[in-house]
Amino acid sequence: MIIGIDNGLNGGLVAISKTTGAVIDKTVMPTLQRSKKREVDTYKVYQWILGCDPKPNDFVVAIEEPLHHAKSSQAVRSMALSFGKLLGLAETKQWDVRCVKVHNWQKSMIGHLSPPYDTKRAALGEANMLAPEECWLKSKRCSKAHDGMVDAFLIARYIRKSEKFVNDWYNK
């Protein structure tokens, strides 16, 4: 199993099969309130991962690294804090971790985009092509795909593709 994590507060978690790439489970990033600010709820992340029933020492956790820049210093702080909490959880549990750069997985999975760059739309198109049966909505009431779950899926598929869990060369 490979668990892809888009570590933002509006991110997502997606577990896929190493062999087929099929989605095992997916969820939005669980968060909690602390000092009037939202943070990743690592205990709920831990519970969700255990609920996917991973075989001990036979799964990979792929966490998206935070960008070094953002629209605000608060956004940089939030992304770095989320990444640190998730990485700390994985390390204390001695899970097999891959830290994934945004530009690497996007280039591999959705390719080079011409301006204007619409990575969200391109990512959703790729996710729909790879898993046409999946619904990327946060809930039944939503009408827009959840970017965090889409990105987490593509992060997991990037690890599957780049680490040769894939049986044939043309399959992503």
Q: What domains are defined for the chain?
A: 2-162 (3.30.420.10)
For residue 2, the cross-strand partners are 16, 60
Q: 79-105 as b/e, with b when 16 or more CB fall inside 10 Å?
A: bbbbbebbbebbeeeebebbebeeeeb
pLDDT confidence of residue 112: 78
Q: Looking at the predicted structure, is the pLDDT value of residue 108 above 70?
A: yes
Q: Looking at the predicted structure, is the pLDDT value of residue 69 above 80?
A: no
Please indicate whether residue 76 or residue 138 has the higher confidence score (pLDDT).
138
What residues have CB less than 8 Å from 24, skipping those under 6 apart?
1, 15, 16, 17, 52
Q: What are the tens digits of pLDDT across the range 133-143?
A: 999 999 889 88
